[in-house]
Structure 1
Amino acid sequence: MNDIDRPLTPDELGHRLTEVFDLVGPLYRRAVRKVEQGEAVEGISVGVRAVLDLLRQSDPMTVPQMGRVLALSRQFVQRMVNDAAAQGWVEAIPNPAHQRSSLIRITDEGRATITAILGREHHLNRQVGGDLTDAELRATVRVLREMLKALDHVDLD
């Protein structure tokens, strides 16, 4: 096994992951700003975008379920759902499993809105350079998932 392929010691890993966190913060903030620039077109905040994208990919969910998946507080998700509902992008439907916690479902208008946003984002993402390979991106996703898993215990509410 060559040196680059050996697992890092906990101390080495800690230093290298700090480099990743140092990049993820500015990357996230710039991505948020880019989405917010598109808000004038679709009238959508980053939080509502996250809710719509999650519901686009899943069956209807409760607000607490969405909060857990998105790693956001229930209260914040509820505000985003309320904003999306006011635009006609989501709707509450009865939840057979829990009378007091409705399921939230994306509407056709919401699906069209998030599809347009994702198309614009895909266009921007195509402009990323660096001759990146599938293996590099799979490794990046693996690293970020492990970092996220290490923070699963953090209370969001």
Structure 2
Amino acid sequence: MTNKQWTEAGEAVTALILDVFRLNGRLQLAGDRLVAELGLTSARWQILGAIAYVDRPESVAWHARAMGVHRQGVQRIVNEMEKEDILEFRPNPHHKRAQLVVLTTKGQNLFDAALALQVPWVNDLSEGLSSNDIATTQEVIGLLKKRLEASSTSQGERSIQY
């Protein structure tokens, strides 16, 4: 055990981090249940969403970085979905080996079906929450995320730019 004492804010952020870990686990389980009938998992659904919501096609490395996860895990799932005609690879004019990933028609239909299930679920989940409280929560999470990204870059983690 360490002798260091948290500041009041440090203790609060530690409690928040633990709650976010628990929330993430519950969201993954709920997501798995929600989209199981579509043959999806939360991980696949998350990747479909990452691809569906970008303005232009991006590489697997770019998506992994944006999602805050390891490229290898995303690559494995993307490769599986490519074999199932959910995603396809396209040439990347900026990098020979880092192909761009896009939804196929099947993939877009699958994502749309997942959203049709998610909308009533999230509307029920958000019942009674105020828009201001949600916005404040997003601000705090966004600030912590930016600080983590800045500290990881300053500690020598490679920044992926394809």
TM-score range, shorter chain: 0.7 to 0.9
Unaligned runs of 5+ in 2: 1-5
The equivalent of 1:34 in structure 2 is 30
Paired letter, 1:72: V
Question: In the alignment, which residue of structure 2 is the partner of 1:131?
Answer: 128
Counterparts in 2 of 1:2-151, with a 5 A limit? 11-58=7-54, 59-128=56-125, 131-151=128-148
Report the RMSD for the aligned CA atoms in angstroms. Answer: 2.0
Cα distance, 1:130 vs structure 2: 6.1
Query: Percentage identity across aligned positions?
Result: 24
Query: Does structure 1 retain, via aligned residues, the 8 Å contact 2:35–2:114?
Result: no
User: How many residues are aligned here?
Assistant: 147
CA distance in 1, matches of 2:118, 2:25: 15
- For residues 8 and 77 of structure 2, what CA distance do their matches in structure 1 show? 39
Q: Summarize the Cα distance change of 1:11–1:130 in structure 2 as closer, same or farther, 3 Å threshold.
A: farther
Secondary structure, counterpart of 1:120 in structure 2: helix
Conserved? CA contact 2:34–2:118, under 8 Å: no
Q: Is the 8 Å Cα contact of residues 89 and 109 (structure 1) preserved in structure 2?
A: yes
Cα distance in 1, alignment partners of residues 32 and 46 from structure 2: 12
Consecutive unaligned residues of structure 1, counting only runs of 5 or more, are 1-9
TM-score in terms of structure 2 length:
0.82
